[in-house]
Chains A and B, each alone.
Chain A
């Protein structure tokens, strides 16, 4: 088992009377891609801010690569590359100048500086636009430049805060690929998002945050196993009545039922066992089935299961 690269212990952060981060505990291992999932307001950005030394902790400790953020923030910052949620670019300076400026602040100089800047721009596919102004870029290109400005110093930890908000699928895929590549090149990556599919696609381990603390953490497999119900059955039907829903809910091995006009979603431990019961109940209430599907539950349903709310509330 790897030493924890980032260790977050019992961290608390308050805004006035609101507790934004509530006794948070997390360990992130070196070399992994760690996904941080949670609805808006869960405390993800706050956690990231504290990790990167932008905000002070009210309680607890965070250490990166063995160095405490509280005690030696500058040392920690040298090891981090932050890709902020908001585009942080100087729109009136050429793209390359943006990267160069930030690289200098990380201590890069001379030939190495030039090389790294070129490398970073190439990595995000903007080497042809190096001399152009970000003001002329599309949203996706700006996001890519936003990333380039965080990686030229080969940081050990790259934190990406919602890096794919509002961009086209092509750019998004490009970014996800880049994340994998960066990871292969040796960086630990913390990736936050409320897009469950992305997090699911690239993360080694995932933590789900809600209301300031972690409600689940582990590999995706571990998470699925954590929940008693691992399967989801989706039934499309007509003549769904209150009665049929009530009876389904009463069934001991059906953990959750939710229904919409013509759809019933059921969470069960194993669909094989319960399918018969379910069909029987439906038939009893004269529900006319149109389609039935069994799905492996996703993080969304895991979240729903754990919190009773949807991720995208």
Chain B
């Protein structure tokens, strides 16, 4: 079968040489796996929050104590605004908090001073902590409102306030959370996102090779043999696919069993999801290759497509944090569906639960590969634009 011959030839060319194995198998898989390990550690890391409490009263203290209740936050006291700023600028802390002096006094008099939050880069942690602090301060404000209605002496008011806060920190009325760990691991999205970003990059290099063939006319030579053009296209697809599957397998094996990263996803399902994505990536790369003749420009264009689609697709931040219209745009981006499938399964879903994302990925793959194969005509020399 001609397609198979072409495919196997391609595989041999890609990974048949020592350089090929290093460039396409060893190097990328090691890099991706190492990154997974690092990112895995990262998501278990706590959010570093240096703070400066210039308030001498109970309110400032209360805020700090309440924030400390969260196990994910690592609060560290510093000595002044200067030090705090430096810590943030040097990225020693994710965000910094400054409670201004006289906060408690002012609060009791009905003036709430703003707490200052120092952040170098926007992130999920910032939003959550901001929300948290607003709730804490909000409650204290309402408490003071209640107290002010009671018309107490300043000293008594202060005393009541102080003692109330102490009482509050006992948290007699609170929630008791039972966590069966049904949800997907924190950081799984980022890990998946990075993996698929890398996969797209690899597919680009493979398609580039096909483009070079077109330019070198070796593709035309194949076509001059009794081979149909669809067989050439199929052969190339199959060849790229074989190499891609090999890469996925190695990455999964290394990260699961050598590094021990717990995906909480069955191997085959994971393989299926990533494999479908690989087909879509191949489709994108070949469509680009078909539209752009010059191999250099095609690779560049492909690389430039990878970053924005990964961003919209939720590889770096949760889609739910983006505005509505962007969330809708995300539906057209394959990354979103991969991440959704991965998260679903990792939080206890079954294969049947992800039939929708998988079908969408499949559909995208079919359409893009069809377009790509039509455009990748062997006769074009590919020297122009």
Contact = CB atoms under 8 A, between A and B. Distances in A.
* Whether chain A touches chain B in the assembled complex (some CB pair under 8 Å): yes
B383 interface: yes
Nearest to B381: A135
Nearest to B385: A92
B294 to A, nearest CB: 8
B323 interface: no
A4 interface: no
A275 to B, nearest CB: 50
A133 interface: yes
A92 B382 CA distance: 11
Nearest to A135: B383
Contacts of A133: 384
Nearest to A92: B384
A177 B168 CA distance: 103
A91 B385 CA distance: 10
B264 to A, nearest CB: 52
A134 B381 CA distance: 13
Nearest to A136: B384
A269 to B, nearest CB: 50
Q: How large is the interface on B (under 10, 10 to 19, 20 to 34, 35 or more residues)?
A: under 10
Main secondary structure of the interface of A (DSSP, over half): loop
A91 B381 CA distance: 12
Interface in A137-153: none
A86 to B, nearest CB: 14
A97 to B, nearest CB: 15
A73 B385 CA distance: 36
Interface residues of A, number: 4
A92 B385 CA distance: 8
Main secondary structure of the interface of B (DSSP, over half): loop
Contacts of B381: 135
A92 B383 CA distance: 8
Interface string A87-108: 0000110000000000000000
Nearest to B384: A135
Contacts of A92: 383-385
A92 B297 CA distance: 13
Contacts of B385: 92
Interface string B2-35: 0000000000000000000000000000000000
A91 B42 CA distance: 50
Contacts of B383: 91-92, 135
Interface in A48-94: 91-92
A133 B385 CA distance: 12
B300 to A, nearest CB: 15
A135 B382 CA distance: 10
Nearest to A91: B383
A174 B381 CA distance: 27
B125 to A, nearest CB: 49
Contacts of A91: 383-384
B103 to A, nearest CB: 67
A197 to B, nearest CB: 29
Nearest to B294: A92
Interface in B344-385: 381, 383-385
A135 B381 CA distance: 9
A93 to B, nearest CB: 11
Contacts of A135: 381, 383-384
A165 B385 CA distance: 27
A208 B385 CA distance: 44
A52 B385 CA distance: 33
Residue of B381, B384, B385 with highest tally of chain A CB at under 10 A: B384
A92 B381 CA distance: 13
A91 B384 CA distance: 7
A104 B212 CA distance: 32
B36 to A, nearest CB: 42
Interface string A217-241: 0000000000000000000000000
A133 B381 CA distance: 14
Nearest to A133: B384
A255 B82 CA distance: 101
B116 to A, nearest CB: 56
B382 to A, nearest CB: 10
A312 to B, nearest CB: 24
Q: What 3 A-B pairs have minimum CB-CB distances, sorted nearest first?
A: A135-B383, A91-B383, A135-B384
Given A92-B383, A135-B383, A135-B384, 6 more contacts: A91-B383, A91-B384, A92-B384, A92-B385, A133-B384, A135-B381
9 contacts: A91-B383, A91-B384, A92-B383, A92-B384, A92-B385, A133-B384, A135-B381, A135-B383, A135-B384
Interface of A: 91-92, 133, 135
